[in-house]
Amino acid sequence: MNEQHPRRVVITGVGAITPLGNDWPTSWSGIVNGASGVGPITLFDASTFPSSIAAEVKDFDPAPFMPHKKHLKFANRFTTFGLAAAREAVDDAKLNPAGLDPTRFGIIIGAGQEKYNLAELAEFVQLFGQAHRVDYEALGTYGWQVANPNNLLKSQLNLTASLLAIAYGAVGLNLTVHSACASSQSIGDAFNIIRRGDLDVAISGGVDSMIDETSLTGFCLLQTLSARNDEPTRASRPFDLDRDGFVLGEGAGMMVLESLEHALARGASIRGEVLGYGSSSNAYRITDIPPAGEGAVVSMRLSLEDAGLEPEAVDYVNAHGTSTKMNDASETRALKAVFGDHADQVPASSTKSQIGHLISAAGTVELLVCLSAIEEDVLPPTINYETPDPECDLDYVPNVARPKPIEVALSNSFGFGGSNCSIIIGRYRPEGRGA
């Protein structure tokens, strides 16, 4: 443990909504058993798109998780995922929010941004204009966007964090992080805020859903999505030679994080410990990453330094592993730069092979994978790994989960715009690491 930060931060509860299940135990079971949550898009007609597949959340009813029924009017899809995952995490932690000091209880969330449904807005504008004699058509698209207050609320990045604060009476710091695929920086921020003493407990995680016409159009134009429409379960294939792009996913992952003192004082069961956090920027290009992975190297090294660990202490890496040509090769080079001669000995699998890319929710869900891997001493697989790529030549735990003692795991998340996030968690040891 870094001596500059005497407060230790532990994980006492987890929850998730993923394409493999509407709770974390179901999702984890699917992951460790090599299941795929990818299929044809059903949320809208995507038949004319070059990529018409995604990893959707299935059979989800948001109503039981809303703080108030009226919130259903403006809660967007991924916010409802976040509320459900947070409920599971709070229950898992056996946390009684009413018994907390509300000023020491915070909400720190990584979130995507809701898109406006122009068809719904147009209908509202027509009705509103008729009733109030307002010519909103003259205002154009922007007028449509501001006309409907519910749609305006849906688009707010901090909506999930705000509704969670209302649901649990959390009066402390309320923060929303948006750094695309690296929005698991929310967990890193919560870790830092708790260990420096500003909060005792936080609900932290990530939420997103980009399975919509606007997002699909953009990613198709960027040519980053897999077009393996006839084989959806085989489409996401990180590190495989025949990978042709990533698969959009959606969902939410949440954790209850506490200072060790707070967790022990209330008799909480401790599932794991956050050990280190590193973040960096590529300062390179918006959509591309540097071929040698320099920014990723920086974030991983910073996380190791923050944890006070040598690379050899890491037993497993949950790779960013998007299934794109450039990202997978770049991350492989970055792992070799950080782990050196030890790189061949560190298994690095990609959960995106099974649940697609959850964008702002990806990093937190993948950190939950690391936690369960530590708890059960099992390496989750990279499915659809069939043909080795000479540029990607590490141990990616191909196709089948593998037993292995795991004490320390590292999760990588690298986002559009060049943000990088690496978080290290470990098995909880009462005496601390290195004792």
Mean pLDDT in residue range 345-368: 98
Mean pLDDT in residue range 106-134: 63
Provide the 3-class DSSP secondary structure of residue 168: helix
Provide the 3-class DSSP secondary structure of residue 276: strand
> 5, 259 in Cβ contact below 8 A?
no
Mean pLDDT in residue range 258-269: 98
pLDDT at 435 over 60: no
Question: Which is more confident, 258 or 74?
Answer: 258
The whole-angstrom separation of Cα 20 and Cα 16 is 10
Of 88-97, 157-166, 369-378, 405-414, minimum mean pLDDT range:
157-166
pLDDT at 1 over 50: no
Of 65-79, 181-195, 386-400, minimum mean pLDDT range:
65-79
- Over the stretch 236-246, which tens digit does the pLDDT of each residue have? 999 999 999 99
Is residue 5 flagged as an active site residue? no
Is residue 220 flagged as an active site residue? no
The whole-angstrom separation of Cα 86 and Cα 80 is 10
- Over the stretch 61-115, which tens digit does the pLDDT of each residue have? 988 887 777 666 677 889 999 999 999 999 999 999 999 999 999 999 999 876 5
pLDDT for the residue 142 = 44
pLDDT for the residue 146 = 47
Residue 77 contacts by C-beta under 8 Å, 6 or more apart in sequence? 114, 209, 250
Helix axes 362-376, 24-32, angle to 10 degrees: 70
pLDDT for the residue 432 = 87
Burial status of residue 225 (CB atoms within 10 A of its CB: 0-12, 13-18, 19 or more):
buried
Mean pLDDT in residue range 173-185: 93
What type of residue is 141?
A: T
Q: Does domain 9-115+155-426 sit in CATH 3.40.47.10?
A: yes
Give kind and range of the element (H or E) at residue 109.
strand 105-111
pLDDT at 157 over 90: no
Calculate the CA 125 to chain-centre distance: 35
Residue 48 contacts by C-beta under 8 Å, 6 or more apart in sequence? none
Active-site residue, from 357, 370, 392, 421: 357
Report residue 357 as tokens. 């890319």
Every domain of the chain and the residues it spans: 9-115+155-426, 118-154
The whole-angstrom separation of Cα 411 and Cα 408 is 10
pLDDT for the residue 305 = 98
Give residue 134's pLDDT band: very low, low, confident or very high (50, 70, 90). Answer: very low
Report residue 190 as tokens. 């919560």
Active-site residue, from 71, 178, 262, 320: 320
Phi, psi of 175 (to 5 degrees): -135, 135
Of 5-9, 20-24, 81-85, minimum mean pLDDT range:
5-9
pLDDT for the residue 385 = 98
Largest CA distance in the chain: 74
Give residue 44's pLDDT band: very low, low, confident or very high (50, 70, 90). Answer: very high
Give residue 198's pLDDT band: very low, low, confident or very high (50, 70, 90). Answer: very high
pLDDT at 136 over 60: no
- Start-end of H helices in 63-133: 77-92, 118-132
What type of residue is 113?
A: Q
- Residue 100 gets which letter from DSSP? S
pLDDT at 144 over 60: no
The CA-atom distances, in angstroms, between 382 and each of 37, 239, 397, 419 are 13, 9, 6, 24
Give residue 4's pLDDT band: very low, low, confident or very high (50, 70, 90). Answer: low
pLDDT for the residue 346 = 98
pLDDT for the residue 206 = 97
Mean pLDDT of the chain: 90
Is residue 320 flagged as an active site residue? yes
Of residues 145, 364, 407, 167, the one with CA closest to residue 273: 407
Q: What percent of the chain has pLDDT over 90?
A: 77
The whole-angstrom separation of Cα 433 and Cα 427 is 9
Report residue 149 as tokens. 């207050």
The whole-angstrom separation of Cα 25 and Cα 53 is 25
- Over the stretch 283-335, which tens digit does the pLDDT of each residue have? 888 777 888 899 999 999 999 999 999 999 999 999 999 999 999 999 999 99
